[in-house]
Amino acid sequence: MDDFNFDYQVDQWNLETVHVYRSTNPINNLIYGYGGVKLFPRHLTLAMDITRADMTTSISKNFKAMPQISNITTFNSTPFNTWKSAFRECCKLASKVIDRQQDNETDQRLDVWCTVGHDQPFGEYAIQGARAGKQYGELNKNNKENLFLINNFEWLKEQFDAQN
């Protein structure tokens, strides 16, 4: 965003904290950490558990949501990129793998992802991916191996191709 000034200095007592700036979703206008600028503690990032479906909130027990909007997350650049991004985010939301998520907020976000934005560029792909990701997340919420597939872009492309 034009008014985003990335000059934040992490305080000594927040060196173990993941800082997440908010972002605007260009399809459904949701504003939260999805696609926003993120600051990760280096040593925790190097030692993170790469088998988790969601890294941002699981890399540290300390999480700080930054109030400023950093950017518009332009994930809707192609049909596949749009579908893949929506699928991955909604799978994480629906499976409840995001540490410290609040169910009522998550449910509202899922509803918006799955219903809003038909009229935006590649909006139909976002909604299709969101609905498929929600279904996949709900069906696999207790299957860590299947949830980890959302980080395999070849597998995601196969899922996309099967639907389109």
Residue stretches of the chain with pLDDT short of 50: none
Give the start-to-end residue ranges of the domains of the chain.
12-72, 79-163
Question: Which two tokens mark 42?
Answer: 């280096």
Note the pLDDT of residue 120: 98
Note the pLDDT of residue 60: 77
Note the pLDDT of residue 162: 96
Q: Which amino acid is at 60?
A: S
CB 108: neighbour CB atoms within 10 A? 12
DSSP 3-state assignment of 135?
Answer: helix
Question: Which two tokens mark 123?
Answer: 């909006």
Check: CB of residue 159 under 8 Å from CB of residue 80: no
**What distance in Å separates the CA atoms of residue 54 and residue 93, rounded to the nearest whole number?**
10
Note the pLDDT of residue 49: 72
Is 0.85 surpassed by the pTM of this model? yes
**What distance in Å separates the CA atoms of residue 90 and residue 38, rounded to the nearest whole number?**
19
Element (H, E) at 153: helix 153-163
